[in-house]
Structure 1
Amino acid sequence: MERYVQYLRKSRFDRDYAELNVEETLKRHEEILNKLAKDRGYHIAKTYYEVVSGESIAARPQVQAMLEEVNAGLYTGVLVVDLERLARGNGADQAYISQIFQFSGTKIITPSKTYDPNDEFDQEYFEFGLFMSRREYKTINRRLIRGRQSSASEGKYISSIAPYGYRRVKLEGEKGFTLEPDEKEAPVVKKVFDMYVHYVGTKNIANYLNDEKIPTRHGDLWTYSTITNIVTNPVYMGKIRRGWSQHVKTFQNGIVEKHIKRKKNIADYQLYEGRHPALISEKIFWDAQEIRINRQPSVKVRKEFTLENSFAGLIYCAKCGKRIGRTTTTRYRVPRFRCVNQRNCHNGSSNYDLVERQIIAALRVWLKGYRVKVSTIGFGEDIAACKKKIAGLDDELEKRNAQMERAYDMVEQGVYSLELFKTRQEKIGDSVARLQQQKNILLTSLAKYEQTDAVSSNLIPTTENLLESYDTMSPKERNALLKEILYKIEYDKGPDGKIVIDLFPKLPKI
């Protein structure tokens, strides 16, 4: 039986479903594809739902999983509402998708057209469709940017989430949104500015709000960074800012990654008069900016940064989940590990060297146990079993091909009637398809076993290298190797002074 797969993804440029949320749009699309499959007698083996936003394949895990199965030849065709659901990304993404469908011979089926990758004209039409989809994406994106710029210049609020202190409301009689003060949050904003212009620091303001049991919008604790975000936001003096947040693309390890870059200097972005009421006066806002600029940091910033924490980005608090930072005491300059949420978390601090020794000791114990586990469990037997089954299926496929050749001979000799030949051909063809499907599944499993075996084998020497050379390495070199071995480290120190270290190694998964 031929197997088909459905791929559903909502585009933010959907015109016909602009008023629907993601779930409702996907449901509409699924109804369309289910009807198409029913009318044509397709057996839908699987449905993929993409609910994340992203133009590139790297940002869409569901399409990655589907393409892996398509590449393995598991499906006769992929059903999509239109071509743009597969790719609106760059040329590399489009070429990658085109090659996968072409080499696997998988059809792309839409309500309006079926694209056969083995047909030269369909292949050209498919590639042209992807190109036009990308071009339309860029055109619409430019139009959206112009529209957002125009809305901002008219004083409308263009972001989807209102800043703390406000609610987002629809403008009456026209398109767009504005802001109105929130009865509970607005007084907190005014208090923050009042304290700040009276030279109370951001950390002390955060501590005050936490001590008063005043929660953030999402119930989290206040931090100095959330206070800084408030006192630097001109929306509170009735302005709309535009161009202060930018998406920056970088190309790393063959993947295009997006990062958000914020402009700290107000002079570097545009300000417009907003339609919303201000919570503070312009004088108070600019007084706050002057204090912020003139205030000297408590610690001099070094011109060159040298990593001193070998566990940076890896060690977290077992009690509250916050980061464990490396700090030094003012008097003795002794490095210690301390939870960054120390005011609200009761996890004790410890000497850096002591925790470091315990982590390395725990890593040695783990390595010893893992080396035994790999040698006894391993995937050598699974790899051998897969290869044996694949060889058996190859023999069966050769037999079916020989049967097909004999059927051709029989019909040419007049032994088989044309009707009997067609019946025989269909039966052998179904058998070949089932065998090929089983082989493709085994090939996928074999690749995973071999990859897992390689990862397991690499994990041991990497850990051994770290432990053998740890004392001679710089913190930066240690950190790089530790991040190859571990996802994270959890640290806990109770009232009795006992330190507990939990390691989370990057163990391979099947």
Structure 2
Amino acid sequence: MYVIYLRKSRKDSDLEALGIDVLKRHEETLLELARARSLPIGAIYREVVSGDSIDARPEMVRLLSEVESGIWEGVLVMEVERLARGDTIDQGRVQRAFFYSNTLIVTPGKTYNPAIENDNEYFEFSLFMSRREYATIKRRMQAGRIRSVKDGYYVGNIAPYGWRRVKADDCKHFTLVPDEKENPVLKLMYDFMGNKKYGFQKTCSALTGMGIVSRSGKPFNPATVKTIISNPVNIGMLRWNYRKSQKAIVNGKIATSRPKADDYILAKGKHPGCISEDLYYRANSVNSSMTAPVKRSCRIQNPFAGIVRCSCCGRVMVRKKMSAKQPRDYLICQYAGCATVAIELDELENAVLEWIRNYIADYKVNNFESADDSEQESLRSILVNLEKEKETTLKQRGSLFDLLEQGIYTKEIFFERSTALEDKIKDFDKKIESVNADIVRLDLSKKNRSTFVPKCQELLNAWDTFDAADKNTALKNVIERIDFTKTEKNARGQRHSSFSIDVFPRISR
């Protein structure tokens, strides 16, 4: 059985510009090739996403996994270059998968057999040249983008908020014009931030109160507003390579980040700005209470960072630092339109510690280990009975052949009884597998719980000696997440809030 793999290449863009469906044309070509060579086709994988690496292409990941498992006798593809254009590691993954599984690569021009040394070497060389070609094309395209930006043309695929992307006068490049619906909202943001001195949160609340939502149809959040008003495109400038992708090896895998760069390109755009420079800088100088992500070089100041979620919107709640008006730290849901009310960090901390104390006391009173032992014993009894019934059924299956030879069963009855017994045996196998899984799960749960309670006790004993970062680490060792609910503000002078928490420990009860 063979499989067809289809993927577009950058050199297909000219054909697509003429309205030609490249993947459909390739599919027809490969199906005709399979028909001419009498190759049975079991599946067709169409790669509709583009990516530099194999991991960024889900259909290729799936194909490689199946090739390594030896499912396919061969893969039909237009060119071997379409299998991998990634780095040396990606090329090695592809070559190793086809070589060790002895899977053929069938193209309209040649069939590659990894078991033949010459074919394998030519396949390896083709992948290497493909990578060289890809790197050259990518370098030229990037140089072209930089040249276009410096000439004042917009090279992004999606226009910034408040703008529309249109063809420039030369009919080759793109520029920006104000969007009829979004541009008035953009100017309103600058008015709130630059003239009325609103913060990001207050600006979001004002927009939500006016029924204005973002492109996604959701209320604006502080991070989105900050990104929009800090974009120099609004004063007629173009910024490029401000958030360049940087790759690093993390736990043996490639991780991509997009930190802010200092060496970005800032050029005068062909489009006129819609905001004055004075208003632009006033709006961006407003101090915000919006919490920024913690830098890797800084210690965490929020003991509940990444743990507490708002029960209304499901988002992670963040710490609001103390100020002259607020002498205590608070935990807030910073998204406009959410009904959740802030709570003092100390108050929430006391509630979580109390939950841990109650869990330990409940564990000792209810004796969960004894209940686990009883349930495991019951499951083992069920397992013994199932295995006995399966053994009886297997004996019945063996006696079928005797009954057929003795003429007691006709062939029709034999096949009917044989099918019924096979179904019964499969059902026993499923039940036995399920019971075994439950026994393993209970055993694992018992072992985890035996270590979970001591972890909780250690946390309580050392809590007062921890700083915020240590508290956060200790909490994450025993708690998966906390859902926080509070929809009523405290009365003036009231210290104790009306709220509730749903704690999800890292061990089932």
TM-score by length of 1: 0.70
Residues 22-61 of structure 1 aligned to structure 2 (within 5 Å): 24-61=21-58
Structure 1 residue 472 and structure 2 residue 458: aligned? Answer: yes
Cα deviation per residue 1:75-99 (whole Å; 9 max; x = unaligned)? Answer: 1011222223221111111112211
Other structure's SS at 2:119 match: helix
Q: CA RMSD in A?
A: 4.4
* Aligned residue number for residue 352 of structure 1: 348
Cα deviation per residue 1:430-484 (whole Å; 9 max; x = unaligned)? Answer: xxxxxxxxxxxxxxxxxxxx99999998787566544421343567678668879
Alpha-carbon distance between aligned partners in 1 of 2:153 and 2:259, rounded to the nearest angstrom: 23
Alpha-carbon distance between aligned partners in 2 of 1:194 and 1:471, rounded to the nearest angstrom: 54
* Aligned residue number for residue 191 of structure 1: 188
Q: Are the equivalent residues in 1 in contact too, given 2:165–2:175 (CA < 8 A)?
A: yes
Alpha-carbon distance between aligned partners in 1 of 2:68 and 2:357, rounded to the nearest angstrom: 42
Gaps of 5+ in 2: 388-435, 460-465, 489-496
Structure 1 residue 125 and structure 2 residue 122: aligned? Answer: yes
Structure 1 residue 228 and structure 2 residue 236: aligned? Answer: no
Aligned-residue identity in percent: 35
* Aligned residue number for residue 321 of structure 1: 314
Cα deviation per residue 1:255-277 (whole Å; 9 max; x = unaligned)? Answer: 212211224x6xx4322221112
Structure 1 residue 252 and structure 2 residue 272: aligned? Answer: no
Alpha-carbon distance between aligned partners in 2 of 1:240 and 1:153, rounded to the nearest angstrom: 8
* Aligned mate of 2:265, from 258, 264, 270: 270
Alpha-carbon distance between aligned partners in 2 of 1:493 and 1:235, rounded to the nearest angstrom: 40
* Aligned residue number for residue 101 of structure 2: 104
Alpha-carbon distance between aligned partners in 2 of 1:250 and 1:63, rounded to the nearest angstrom: 22
* Aligned residue number for residue 135 of structure 2: 138
* Residues 337 and 60 (structure 1), Cα distance of their counterparts in 2 relative to 1, 3 Å cut: same
* Aligned mate of 1:206, from 200, 204, 217: 204
Alpha-carbon distance between aligned partners in 2 of 1:375 and 1:42, rounded to the nearest angstrom: 55
Query: What displacement does 1:110 show?
Result: 1.9
Residues 419-498 of structure 1 aligned to structure 2 (within 5 Å): 465-473=451-459, 490-492=483-485
Alpha-carbon distance between aligned partners in 1 of 2:293 and 2:116, rounded to the nearest angstrom: 63
Query: What displacement does 1:286 show?
Result: 3.9
Q: Are the equivalent residues in 2 in contact too, given 1:459–1:485 (CA < 8 A)?
A: no
* Residues 492 and 297 (structure 1), Cα distance of their counterparts in 2 relative to 1, 3 Å cut: closer
**Which deviates more, 254-263 or 140-149?**
254-263
Q: Are the equivalent residues in 2 in contact too, given 1:315–1:323 (CA < 8 A)?
A: yes
Other structure's SS at 1:261 match: coil
Q: Are the equivalent residues in 2 in contact too, given 1:169–1:179 (CA < 8 A)?
A: yes
Gaps of 5+ in 1: 386-449
* Aligned mate of 2:67, from 67, 70, 85: 70
Alpha-carbon distance between aligned partners in 2 of 1:17 and 1:76, rounded to the nearest angstrom: 32
* Aligned mate of 1:175, from 151, 172, 185: 172
Q: Are the equivalent residues in 1 in contact too, given 2:482–2:501 (CA < 8 A)?
A: no
Q: Which AA in structure 2 matches 1:319? A: C
Q: Are the equivalent residues in 2 in contact too, given 1:335–1:352 (CA < 8 A)?
A: no
* Residues 251 and 501 (structure 1), Cα distance of their counterparts in 2 relative to 1, 3 Å cut: same
Q: Are the equivalent residues in 2 in contact too, given 1:167–1:179 (CA < 8 A)?
A: yes
* Aligned mate of 2:84, from 84, 87, 92: 87
Q: Which AA in structure 2 matches 1:153? A: K
**Which deviates more, 206-215 or 32-41?**
32-41
Residues 272-351 of structure 1 aligned to structure 2 (within 5 Å): 272-289=267-284, 291-292=285-286, 295=287, 305-307=298-300, 312-326=305-319, 338-341=332-335, 343-347=336-340, 351=347
Q: Are the equivalent residues in 2 in contact too, given 1:58–1:255 (CA < 8 A)?
A: no
Structure 1 residue 219 and structure 2 residue 205: aligned? Answer: no
* Residues 225 and 498 (structure 1), Cα distance of their counterparts in 2 relative to 1, 3 Å cut: closer
Other structure's SS at 1:111 match: coil
Q: Are the equivalent residues in 1 in contact too, given 2:163–2:177 (CA < 8 A)?
A: yes
* Residues 43 and 12 (structure 1), Cα distance of their counterparts in 2 relative to 1, 3 Å cut: same
Other structure's SS at 1:167 match: strand
* Residues 459 and 234 (structure 1), Cα distance of their counterparts in 2 relative to 1, 3 Å cut: farther
Other structure's SS at 2:134 match: helix
**Which deviates more, 72-81 or 221-230?**
221-230
Alpha-carbon distance between aligned partners in 1 of 2:39 and 2:376, rounded to the nearest angstrom: 44
Alpha-carbon distance between aligned partners in 2 of 1:14 and 1:456, rounded to the nearest angstrom: 56
Query: What displacement does 1:497 show?
Result: 5.6
Q: Are the equivalent residues in 2 in contact too, given 1:360–1:467 (CA < 8 A)?
A: no
Count of matched residue pairs: 427
Q: Are the equivalent residues in 2 in contact too, given 1:462–1:485 (CA < 8 A)?
A: no
* Residues 212 and 28 (structure 1), Cα distance of their counterparts in 2 relative to 1, 3 Å cut: same
* Residues 7 and 215 (structure 1), Cα distance of their counterparts in 2 relative to 1, 3 Å cut: same
Q: Are the equivalent residues in 2 in contact too, given 1:324–1:340 (CA < 8 A)?
A: yes
Q: Which AA in structure 2 matches 1:321? A: G
Query: What displacement does 1:355 show?
Result: 4.3
Other structure's SS at 1:127 match: helix
* Residues 110 and 172 (structure 1), Cα distance of their counterparts in 2 relative to 1, 3 Å cut: farther
Query: What displacement does 1:249 show?
Result: 0.6
* Residues 301 and 240 (structure 1), Cα distance of their counterparts in 2 relative to 1, 3 Å cut: closer
Q: Are the equivalent residues in 2 in contact too, given 1:466–1:478 (CA < 8 A)?
A: no
Alpha-carbon distance between aligned partners in 2 of 1:347 and 1:297, rounded to the nearest angstrom: 17
Query: What displacement does 1:105 show?
Result: 0.5
* Residues 504 and 27 (structure 1), Cα distance of their counterparts in 2 relative to 1, 3 Å cut: farther
Alpha-carbon distance between aligned partners in 1 of 2:40 and 2:184, rounded to the nearest angstrom: 60
**Which deviates more, 150-159 or 77-86?**
77-86
Q: Which AA in structure 2 matches 1:470? A: C
Other structure's SS at 2:25 match: helix
Alpha-carbon distance between aligned partners in 1 of 2:438 and 2:119, rounded to the nearest angstrom: 38
* Residues 35 and 493 (structure 1), Cα distance of their counterparts in 2 relative to 1, 3 Å cut: farther
* Residues 309 and 300 (structure 1), Cα distance of their counterparts in 2 relative to 1, 3 Å cut: closer
Cα deviation per residue 1:116-135 (whole Å; 9 max; x = unaligned)? Answer: 00010000011001101111
Alpha-carbon distance between aligned partners in 1 of 2:292 and 2:32, rounded to the nearest angstrom: 67
Q: Are the equivalent residues in 1 in contact too, given 2:485–2:501 (CA < 8 A)?
A: yes
